[in-house]
């Protein structure tokens, strides 16, 4: 940006009250027009910290479909806008470049990961559930009806949503899988 010669810092210094050139006269155009990036957000979304169970409220700032900032929501009666170091690192958590974003597949006895299409992976997993369920199906144990499979287990849920846990338990129960556990046991 071309500045009028009158706006050259040294002239501002001589013209204005900042004769030592340590304040107003030294301000660059960037400094003059600086704004917090959050004001440019397309939307601010209410969220909750994903780490521990205190349940600190977060505000998620989004610009062009990307997260530009996550910080505490002062309105929360639980957290009053504050976050611990983990909660404060939430943006890094969700924008981490080391997040795995493609399906990885390791074939039996394989030595390396391979690529796999998500739809194919879902079909393969469904096939395996059906097969293992049947293979380990048990109508009875010690003469008592059990109607279950001990061939399939699951671990996880404490980091997930209630709705997700609900669908998990519902589907597993209908499958007859009972070894369903999460961090609450650990």
Partner 1 sequence: MAEAHPVGFQWVMEAKRRGATIIHVDPRFTRTSAVADVHVPIRAGSDIAFLGGLVNHVLTTESYFRDYVVAYTNAANIVDEGFEDTEDLDGLFSGFDAEQAHYDPVSWRYQAPDDRSPDEEKRLQQIREDESGGGGQKESHVAAQSESHGSGGAAVPWKGKRDETLQDPRCVFQILKRHFARYTPEMVQEVCGIAPADFAEVADALVRNSGRERTSALAYAVGWTHHSTGAQTIRTGSILQLLLGNIGRPGGGIIALRGHASIQGSTDIPTLFNILPGYLPMPHANQHQSLDEWVRDDEGKAGFWGNIRSYAVSLLKSYWGDAATADNDFCFDYLPRLTGDHSTYNTVKSQIEGGCKGYFLVGENPAVGSANGKMQRLGMANLDWLVVRDLQMIESATFWKDGPEIETGELVTEDIGTEIFFLPAASHVEKAGSFTQTQRMLQWRDKAVEPPGDARSELDFYFDLGVRIRERLAGSTDEMDRPLLDLAWDYPTDEKGEVDGQAVLREINGTGPDGAALSAYTELKPDGSTACGCWIYCGVYADEVNQARRRKPAWEQDEVAAEWGWAWPANRRILYNRASAAPDGSPWSERKKYVWWDAEKGRWVGRDVPDFVPDRAPDHVPEEGATGPDAIGGQDPFVMQTDGKGWLFAPVGLADGPMPSHYEPPESPVRNPLYGQQNNPTRRKYAHPANPINPSWSEVFPYVFTSYRLTEHHTAGGMSRTLPYLTELQPEPFCEISPRLAAERGLEHGGWATIVTARTAIEARVLVTDRVRSLRLGDTFVEQIGLPYHWGRNGISQGDSANDLVNITMDPNVYIQDKVGTCDIRPGRRPRGPALLAFVDGYRRRAGVDPDDPTDGGADR
Partner 2 sequence: MTNSLWGRLDDPAGNAGHTDHPPRMGFFTDTSVCIGCKACEVACKEWNEVPEDGYLLTGMSYDNTQQLGASTWRHVAFVEKPAETVETVDLGMPEVGLPGASGDAGVKWLMSSDVCKHCTHAACLDVCPTGALFRTEFGTVVVQPDVCNGCGYCVPACPYGVIDIRPEDGRAFKCTLCYDRLKEGQKPACAQACPTESIQFGEVDELRERAAARVEELHARGVDVARLYGADPEDGVGGDGAFFLLLDEPEVYGLPPDPVVTTRDLGSIWKHVGGAAAAIVGLGVASFMGRRR
Compute how many residues bind partner 1; rule: CB under 8 A. 119
Q: Are 61 and 44 in contact (CB under 8 A)?
A: yes
The span of 80-88, 99-107, 149-157, 173-181 binding partner 2 (CB under 8 A) equals: 80-88
Neighbours of 115 (CB within 10 A): 8
The CA-atom distances, in angstroms, between 86 and each of 17, 57, 67, 115, 151 are: 45, 13, 17, 32, 37
Query: What residue 1 binds from partner 2, partner 1, none (CB within 5 to 8 A, per partner kind)?
Result: none
Query: What residue 157 binds from partner 2, partner 1, none (CB within 5 to 8 A, per partner kind)?
Result: partner 1
Which of 3, 11, 14, 28 lies at the binding interface for partner 2 (CB under 8 A)? Answer: 28
Spatial strand order in the sheet of 57-63 = 43-48, 57-63, 66-72
Contact flag: residue 71 with partner 1 (CB under 8 A): no
Contact flag: residue 18 with partner 2 (CB under 8 A): yes
User: How far is 177 from 65, CA to CA, in rounded Å?
Assistant: 39
Site for partner 1 in 75-94 (CB under 8 A): 75-80, 82-90, 92-94
Residues forming the site for partner 2 (CB under 8 A): 9, 16-31, 34-39, 69-72, 81-89, 91-92
């Amino acid at each position: 940006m071309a500045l009028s010669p009158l706006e050259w810092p040294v002239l501002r210094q001589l013209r204005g009250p900042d004769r030592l050139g340590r304040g107003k006269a030294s301000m660059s155009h960037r400094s003059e027009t600086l704004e917090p990036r959050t004001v440019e957000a397309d939307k601010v979304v209410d969220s909750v910290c994903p780490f521990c169970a205190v349940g600190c409220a977060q505000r998620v700032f989004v610009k062009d479909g990307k997260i530009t900032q996550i910080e505490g929501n002062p309105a929360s009666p639980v957290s009053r806008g504050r976050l611990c170091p983990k909660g404060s690192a939430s943006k890094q958590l969700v924008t981490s470049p080391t997040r795995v974003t493609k399906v990885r597949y390791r074939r039996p006895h394989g030595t390396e990961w391979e690529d796999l299409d998500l739809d194919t992976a879902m079909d393969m997993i469904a096939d395996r559930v059906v097969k293992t369920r049947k293979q380990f199906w048990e109508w009875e144990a010690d003469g008592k009806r059990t109607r279950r499979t001990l061939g399939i287990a699951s671990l996880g849920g404490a980091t997930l949503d209630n709705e997700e846990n609900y669908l998990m338990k519902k589907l597993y129960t209908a499958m007859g899988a009972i070894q369903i556990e999460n961090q609450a046991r650990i």
